[in-house]
Amino acid sequence: MTNDREPKATKASREHTAPADRASATEAMRSAAEQLTELLGRRPDSVSALKPTEEGWEARVEVVEVERIPETTSVMASYQVTLDPAGRLLAYERGQRYTRAQTDRNDRTR
């Protein structure tokens, strides 16, 4: 038996393994929300942005920080989340706080 096929199989295996190491966009969004929930003790309202980076993923996650009645007056916070390629949370930082009814016309940096 020759080993002519072995390098090809190894190369093919590596090609199929590499994409599996990186979470899909859907997996990264879900992962960001779930891990932030564990850290903050609050369920995120939405993931408003997600982008791939060379180091993994960056996401912006919106969280209800203070629930009020009516809901439009609830205090929201936007968290910047950094994930590794597999979707594991590396860092997070709270950014802007705002009321749910606030439009983003005052926030031109996004």
pLDDT on residue 6 = 46
pLDDT on residue 19 = 53
Q: How confident is the model at residue 99 (pLDDT cuts 50, 70, 90)?
A: very high
CA distance 95 to 55: 21
Q: What is the DSSP string of 52-80?
A: EETTEEEEEEEEEEE--SSGGG-EEEEEE
The string of pLDDT tens digits covering residues 41-88 is: 999 999 999 999 999 999 999 999 999 999 999 999 999 999 999 999
Which of 1 and 91 is assigned the larger pLDDT? Answer: 91
* C-beta separation of 69 from 51 below 8 A: no
Q: What is the largest CA-CA distance in the chain?
A: 75
pLDDT on residue 11 = 42
Across the range 10-29, mean pLDDT stands at 66
* Mean residue pLDDT across the chain: 83
Percent of the chain with pLDDT over 70: 75
To the question of pTM greater than 0.75 for the whole model, the response is: no
CA distance 3 to 64: 59
